[in-house]
Amino acid sequence: PLAPGRGLKGVADGQQVLLGLRPEHLTRAHTATPEQGTFRYEATIDLLQPTGSRSYATFRLAGAPVMAELQAHDVSRPGEKLAIDINMNRASIFDATTERAI
């Protein structure tokens, strides 16, 4: 649930939604406070897939698996805790019942 006053445009209070995120819109937090439009989440990395200069890290958010595309040096192993910034300005929102974009 979103905190009061943190609603999304086109979403009614209490409406169930699905959040669509692309891995490249999730980054390791590099500042003390998140930028405007960014949600910070303390993640525990479940799976790490190094691909050279980038790594794909999978963690759970509200019980669902989420993948972040990170710099290879941002994370070293599964089990590592990492602050992840999620760019909500790039998120896609879907009605949970109809699965239509909002």
What pLDDT is recorded for position 2? 58
Q: Is the pTM of this model over 0.85?
A: no
Is residue 1 a part of any domain in this protein? no
Is residue 79 a part of any domain in this protein? yes
Residue 1 has pLDDT above 60, yes or no: no
- How distant, in Å, are the alpha carbons of 6, 45, 95 from that of 11? 11, 30, 9
Tens of pLDDT, residue by residue over 53-101, are 999 999 999 899 999 999 999 988 999 999 999 998 898 989 999 999 9
Is residue 15 a part of any domain in this protein? no
What pLDDT is recorded for position 4? 53
Q: Count how many domains the chain has.
A: 1
Is residue 22 a part of any domain in this protein? no
Is residue 55 a part of any domain in this protein? yes
Residue 49 has pLDDT above 90, yes or no: yes
CATH number of the domain encompassing residue 90: 2.40.50.100
Is residue 45 a part of any domain in this protein? yes
